Structure 1
Amino acid sequence: MESAGRRVYSVSELTRRIKQTLEDEVGRVWVEGEISNYKVYASGHAYFSLKDAGAQLSAVLFAGSRSGVAAGAHLEDGQRIRAFGEVSVFESRGQYQMIVRKVEPMGEGDLMRRFLELKQRLEVEGLFAQARKRPLPVLPQRIGIVTSPTGAVIHDMTTVLGRRFPNLHIRLAPVKVQGVGAAQEIASAVRLFNRACGPDSVWPADLLIVGRGGGSLEDLWAFNEECVARAVAESAIPVISAVGHDTDFSLCDFAADVRAPTPSAAAELAVTTKQEWEQCLAHHARALKQTVRRQVTAWRMRVMTARSSRFFQQPRQLVERRAQQVDTLAMRMDHAAAQRVQEGRQRTERAYGRLRVVRERYEHLTRARLEENVRRLEAACRLRLERLRAGVAGNARQLDLLSPLAVLERGYSLTRGPDGRLVRSARDLSSGAEISTQLKDGSVASIVR
């Protein structure tokens, strides 16, 4: 349309021109990026975004193009892919998008890789161990909620809690649930509840619900931060994690005591309906009344039976009969005791007789062995003494043979000088020296000339 020399487009005309320009200038291209906000509708068409660090692109994969998805390509949030298709404009929304015809896998996206690496590290630390999980309180009176103060989540949870048990006390710790600083606010709120609403506080919280509504992996990322997972795991108050929808999983879910698929489901898990409690109490009250009635009836029957018994009609005869039975039992007991004593005495005498025979036999055997040993010892001593005497006599003969005195018996003599030493040569003596000569029967002193 022309107006005062200007070309004025309608919205539809401009959108069609932009669409035509994109299709003509860009045409069909390959684009690589990370899948986000992936969703498949009942028609079979899949809608998602392709993103990188600087931008994102809306994309649609129609059901008829599913055959263009390469084998092994698993389409879900966080996956990196290469997509081939044409860039066009969805005119009714004025939104440019890529119509995907082919898909090739590239691997996990950066966020998904960070998620899996952190999950593995915290899992090795035992932060997600089942042994750490605690059961939820049966009937919580005070519930703390950590979520955004605006939006449908807090409204849905308070509505469900109020409907199920109107007497509950609820406190909200308002936090950001996405964006810069959201993770720190969530972790601080959990720790604040543990400090200010602990067991010794004036408002001790029985349960915490930490959560938010659904969204992409980026939207939910605050609940995947390490500080949030640690704050939830360290909480002394039991925690229900309610992050996103049933298909969304976060590290907060793994660290919490219980995971709820949605915030509304978390409110339902938190508390049983008041009506169910009232029905349960009514049931137990009826059961208690019936039990009391049965007990009263049973005791009444026992009293009536006792009243009609012979004990109450003729109590003296019953006592006398019991006394006679006691006497009979006493006599039987005395007789049995005397009999047991007699039997014990007889067993003792028999045992003593057997023991005496054994003792005499043992003494006889011992005496015989002792006498035999004495005989053997005397014989051994005599033999040893004879051998020793023979040895001594032999040694004496050897000594006699070796003694110098035996040489004197045969006519020889021993001469000693002035110093008492034996003289072996005439050269050992000088003239005038005094010598002593030992003979068989004495010694003779002389002087050398």
Structure 2
Amino acid sequence: MSDLIDDGESGNTPEFTVSEISGAVKRTIEGEFGHVRIKGEVGRVSRPRSGHVYLDLKDDRAVISGVMWKGVAARQDTQPEEGMEVVATGRLTTFPGQSKYQIVIEDIRPAGMGALMAMLEKRRKALAAEGLFDEGRKKPRPFLPEIIGVVTSPSGAVIRDILHRLRERFPRKVLIWPVAVQGQASAPEVARAIRGFNALTPGGALPRPDLLIVARGGGSIEDLWGFNEEIVVRAAAESQIPLISAVGHETDTTLIDFAADLRAPTPTAAAELAVPVRRDLLAWSGEMQARMGRAVSQRLEHRGQRLGDLARALPRAETLLESARQRLDTSGERLPAALIRGVQSRRVTLSETAGSLRPGMLRARTAEGRRALEVWGARLAPALGRLTETRAQALGRVGDRLSLRPIQREVSEHRRSLEALALRLDQGAEARLRAGREGLAGLDRLHETLGYKATLERGYAVVRGAGGVLTTRAEAEAAGGLEIEFKDGRLKIGGGAGAGGGGAGGAAKKSETRKKSAPEQGSLF
């Protein structure tokens, strides 16, 4: 009986296939919620190559999947990003393949910042106010670092991508500091890694890197939140080693990106920014070397051509020296005659000067000076007397108006002045006479020095003939008799002449002969 009842009840219940029930649910949801507006925070955002956008809308208790087709996404003014609070307009439907419901978005607009984004923006403004993001703090990255330090997870695909790209571009030494890139331990470990690399000693057992890369793959804002922590941002800003931030994908932005010296859109791009391409450098170096060779060759060719042009414009060396050689030959020919004329001119001048220094002339000039002094001395005394009388008469005329004592004082002063003047005149006359005597004595000594007598004292002799002084051998041979004067007398040779004796008799004969035959002094020149 019970079996019959059960069979009857099961027979009355309709039976659906999975597709039929899924379709019925789809029609029911689409019929009830054909056009809805949903406000929520954007969670996960996915953009496959098809161009469609898949995302999650969430609040504190539920999550709804959403899809925005390629054409609709291209028309949107604002593209959805994780953490953004939006109002999505569309229709609810189901996806039977996964037994889930979703909203097909036809329009999406910002509705305000989410809680996480609001907190992130507030922290960013506070750190920016401290100057941690200033461009002046940024350090230039080295062109070709020897050692690169990488702060990332050692087990992820990020480190493999970085090493692979460095090996392709320009192999460098890499130091890896393993850290957690997600979770509560991420921020402290990343900050310790940055400070640890900076604490290494350059050139030590563990060398200090020349460049740092902080890298992590993409993820949601919650996954990347460790790189928004203040401790990580401050460590990046304090780093003395240039730092490249490569956290997330190109659309992901964290606070370490602002504090880093350079931001890379992806970890692979960070490796590309760290080192240049070796092949490109070799090609560039070869090109520069070739250009330098061509430039040097062209410059040498240009300078050689210029030198040739200038050389053609210059005269030949032989032409430049011809005039100078001719002038030298002419001057050489004229030099002996000029020297002879110069010597003769100086001899004449010396003879004239010696003739003016004769003792008789000097005595005459001295006597003339004495007579002039006597004349002036004789005229001085009467002049002083007349001057005194004139002054006395003048004083007598004004004596009635002046007291006697001042007049006497003035007379005494005039007398003293006249006496001093007379004394100065006498002294001047004596000094003049003394200077004259000294000058005369000096001229006399000069005459003795320049005279031929001094030459005789040095062992020379004067040979005279009938016509005067003989200066050549031919004149001496032609003369009938010779008279040789030594320092102590004269000796006659030939013509019946005897030897002149020395002493007083010889000196008297020498003096007498000089007075008769040579009234004036002879000249050795």
Q: Give the alignment's TM-score, normalised by structure 1.
A: 0.57
Using a 3 Å threshold, how does the CA distance of structure 1 residues 110 and 198 change in structure 2: closer, same or farther?
farther
Deviates more, 1:265-274 or 1:22-31: 22-31
2:45 paired residue among 38, 47, 52? 38
Q: How much has 1:38 moved relative to structure 2?
A: 2.7
- 2:212 aligned with 1:208: yes
1:154 aligns to what? 159
- Is the partner of 1:114 in helix, strand or coil? helix
Q: How much has 1:230 moved relative to structure 2?
A: 0.9
2:86 aligns to what? 81
2:322 and 2:284 map into 1 onto residues whose CA distance is: 50
1:231 and 1:23 map into 2 onto residues whose CA distance is: 56
Q: How much has 1:209 moved relative to structure 2?
A: 0.9
Give the count of matched residue pairs.
309
Q: How much has 1:144 moved relative to structure 2?
A: 0.9
Deviates more, 1:33-42 or 1:14-23: 14-23
CA contact (8 A) 1:16 1:91 kept: no
Using a 3 Å threshold, how does the CA distance of structure 1 residues 64 and 137 change in structure 2: closer, same or farther?
closer
1:102 and 1:310 map into 2 onto residues whose CA distance is: 96
Using a 3 Å threshold, how does the CA distance of structure 1 residues 146 and 21 change in structure 2: closer, same or farther?
same
1:179 aligns to what? 183
Q: After the TM superposition, which residues 368-447 of structure 1 pair with which residues of structure 2 at under 5 Å, given as runs?
A: none
2:169 paired residue among 156, 164, 169? 164
Q: How much has 1:259 moved relative to structure 2?
A: 0.9
- Is the partner of 1:172 in helix, strand or coil? strand
2:165 and 2:225 map into 1 onto residues whose CA distance is: 26
1:162 and 1:119 map into 2 onto residues whose CA distance is: 36
CA contact (8 A) 1:23 1:86 kept: no
Q: Which amino acid aligns with 2:159?
A: I
1:293 and 1:54 map into 2 onto residues whose CA distance is: 79
Using a 3 Å threshold, how does the CA distance of structure 1 residues 169 and 95 change in structure 2: closer, same or farther?
farther
2:63 and 2:319 map into 1 onto residues whose CA distance is: 99
2:267 and 2:207 map into 1 onto residues whose CA distance is: 23
2:280 and 2:191 map into 1 onto residues whose CA distance is: 34
2:104 and 2:175 map into 1 onto residues whose CA distance is: 47
Q: How much has 1:193 moved relative to structure 2?
A: 1.2
1:51 paired residue among 58, 63, 70? 58
1:435 aligns to what? none
C-alpha distance after superposition, 1:139-162 (max 9, x if no partner): 111111111222322111111111
CA contact (8 A) 2:22 2:96 kept: no
1:14 and 1:185 map into 2 onto residues whose CA distance is: 51
Q: How much has 1:250 moved relative to structure 2?
A: 1.3
Deviates more, 1:106-115 or 1:19-28: 19-28
2:305 and 2:37 map into 1 onto residues whose CA distance is: 92
C-alpha distance after superposition, 1:241-262 (max 9, x if no partner): 1122222211111111111111
1:117 paired residue among 113, 122, 137? 122
Q: After the TM superposition, which residues 95-110 of structure 1 pair with which residues of structure 2 at under 5 Å, given as runs?
A: 95-100=100-105, 105-110=110-115
1:233 and 1:312 map into 2 onto residues whose CA distance is: 78
C-alpha distance after superposition, 1:76-102 (max 9, x if no partner): 321223557776653334555444567
1:282 paired residue among 243, 264, 286? 286
C-alpha distance after superposition, 1:296-328 (max 9, x if no partner): 66589969969995189959949x99xx9xxxx
- 2:143 aligned with 1:138: yes
- Is the partner of 2:214 in helix, strand or coil? strand
Q: How much has 1:138 moved relative to structure 2?
A: 1.0
- Is the partner of 1:36 in helix, strand or coil? strand
Q: After the TM superposition, which residues 241-390 of structure 1 pair with which residues of structure 2 at under 5 Å, given as runs?
A: 241-290=245-294, 293=297, 298=303, 310=317, 314=321, 317=324
2:200 paired residue among 196, 200, 224? 196
2:29 and 2:323 map into 1 onto residues whose CA distance is: 123
Using a 3 Å threshold, how does the CA distance of structure 1 residues 138 and 87 change in structure 2: closer, same or farther?
same
2:67 paired residue among 56, 60, 66? 60
Using a 3 Å threshold, how does the CA distance of structure 1 residues 41 and 229 change in structure 2: closer, same or farther?
same
Q: How much has 1:35 moved relative to structure 2?
A: 0.4
Structure with greater Cα Rg: 2
**CA RMSD, 1 decimal:** 4.4
Structure 1, unaligned runs of 5 or more: 325-449
1:226 aligns to what? 230
Q: How much has 1:174 moved relative to structure 2?
A: 1.6
Using a 3 Å threshold, how does the CA distance of structure 1 residues 170 and 65 change in structure 2: closer, same or farther?
closer
Q: How much has 1:56 moved relative to structure 2?
A: 3.8
- Is the partner of 1:205 in helix, strand or coil? coil
- 2:244 aligned with 1:235: no
Structure number with greater CO (CA < 8 Å, separation at least 6) is: 1
Q: How much has 1:289 moved relative to structure 2?
A: 3.8
CA contact (8 A) 1:19 1:88 kept: no
1:91 aligns to what? 96
Q: Which amino acid aligns with 2:255?
A: L
2:221 aligns to what? 217
Using a 3 Å threshold, how does the CA distance of structure 1 residues 308 and 249 change in structure 2: closer, same or farther?
farther
- Is the partner of 1:116 in helix, strand or coil? helix
1:179 and 1:19 map into 2 onto residues whose CA distance is: 42
Q: Which amino acid aligns with 1:50?
A: L
Structure 2, unaligned runs of 5 or more: 1-6, 11-15, 332-525
